[in-house]
Amino acid sequence: MRYFDDLTYEKKQDIFYSLPGEFQRDSEKDLLAYALGAVLYMPVTREGISEEIIHCKHKGLMSMVLCLEDAVGDHEIQRAEEKLWEHLKILHLAIETGGMDSTKLPLIFVRVRNIEQMERMMMVAGETLCLITGFVFPKFSQYNGEAYFQQLKKLNHHLKIKLYGMPILEAPEIIYKESRIDALNNIKKLLDKYRDLVLNIRIGATDFSGLFGIRRSYDLRIYDIAVIRDCIGDIVNFFCRAEEGHVVSGPVWEYFSKADRILKPQLRQGPFENAYGEKGIKLRAQILDKYLDGLIHEVLLDKANGLTGKTIIHPSHILPVQALQVVSHEEYIDARSILSNNNGQLGVIKSQYANKMNEIKPHIHWAKKIMIKSKIYGVFHERKNFTNLLT
């Protein structure tokens, strides 16, 4: 797989200073952890999922979650499991018969309800589980985490494959102030123990908000909700330290069509007009009409807070999220300069963009992350940005 591979050769050369690189399900874990991009959640009971994957209906889809938990009603559990087997069988048959190129298969994760459901999958799905990349563990906590990872180890051993776990931090003890630090500390110990199986850490901001009867409006970002912002800050503090090596993703943006605006849009016209002229002004208007400017703003805040990628619930979110993961030319040049001068001879150097000072030691971890992302998402040419990928 390769990001933005649907673009023509000419357009790639025009937009990218360094092209996105290839990755696949069995790529090195440290690379794959950053490669999920926009992770599309779908209720597994939805009809036609396997056909949509086979025919590449959703442009740019690289990773997805088939949900057996909150997206499925309690009375639908058996039907949902049967639909999962059905989707996997159809995909497996399409690959076996040449109806689909296996390299075009997105990274597929299954969000389970409990350990027992994982056990049933091991017995029923069999070899078709080789099509998935791993499982999403909901309501992950210090109390159920060990059992989830033990079951994952058992499944990997039984099927002779490598599946990963992605815990969702959304349990009450994580958001409640009096229990948060102990909970995060215990979860950290658990995830460190199973580090080789932890691909990515997700944040369940919707569940967190629900515990307080809060639902943010379109005009607000998750970082505007104080109680959620504080918790995200603590999660970043525990898991995104330079020595930890965990990758944490941005929480879901849940809007995908028109709503009543109260506040003024903050998406500037300049970048669009500079890139496309009159056509760019129209593109900006379309983004505002689809209410994607709020998503764009939140992804920028995710990145500023050390998060990589984002959970999404609508295909229209795929391209904006992924376009915003591409490394800017300035970031790349700074990161490359920092790493090339990490020899102990210099402590600070002037940016080649002549607009900042790059301090070697404080910025070394940032630079390493930038270089990993540049291998996956590519690097923009100077004076190119995410707007150049939105058409």
For residue 347, the model assigns a pLDDT of: 77
pTM over the 0.75 mark: yes
For residue 363, the model assigns a pLDDT of: 92
Domain ranges of the chain: 1-20+327-391, 22-256+291-325, 261-288
Query: Which CATH number among 3.30.950.10, 3.90.1150.10, 3.30.465.10, 3.20.20.60 corresponds to the domain 22-256+291-325?
Result: 3.20.20.60
Cα(267)–Cα(383) distance, rounded to whole angstroms?
18
Report yes or no: 259 and 218 within 8 Å, Cβ to Cβ.
yes
* Stretches in the chain below the pLDDT threshold 50: none
Pick from 375, 252, 243, 255: nearest CA to 307: 252
Take residue 232 and report the two structure tokens written for it: 């995200």
For residue 88, the model assigns a pLDDT of: 93
For residue 76, the model assigns a pLDDT of: 87
Neighbours of 359 (CB within 10 A): 13
For residue 277, the model assigns a pLDDT of: 80
Pick from 31, 106, 88, 48: nearest CA to 371: 31
Tokens 């459901």 identify what position?
Answer: 117
For residue 259, the model assigns a pLDDT of: 62
What distance separates the 2 farthest-apart alpha carbons in the chain? Answer: 65
Q: In the predicted model, what is the mean pLDDT of the chain? A: 91
Cα(222)–Cα(216) distance, rounded to whole angstroms?
7
Q: Strand 379-380 vs strand 16-18: parallel, antiparallel, or unpaired?
A: antiparallel
For residue 291, the model assigns a pLDDT of: 65
What's the pLDDT tens digit per position in 316-328? 999 999 999 999 9
Q: For 242, which DSSP code? A: T
Q: How far is CA 160 from CA 70, 130, 193, in A?
A: 30, 9, 21
211-216 long-range Cβ contacts below 8 angstroms, 24+ apart: 211/172, 211/175, 211/176
DSSP codes of every residue in 339-357: HHTTTTT-SEEE-TTSS-E
Tell me phi and psi for residue 174, to 5 degrees: -85, -35
Q: For 37-67, b where at least 16 C-beta lie within 10 A, e where not — what string?
A: bbbbbbbbbeeebbebbbeeebebbbbbbbb
Cα(112)–Cα(302) distance, rounded to whole angstroms?
26
Neighbours of 254 (CB within 10 A): 18
Cα(380)–Cα(386) distance, rounded to whole angstroms?
8
Pick from 290, 311, 254, 255: nearest CA to 41: 311
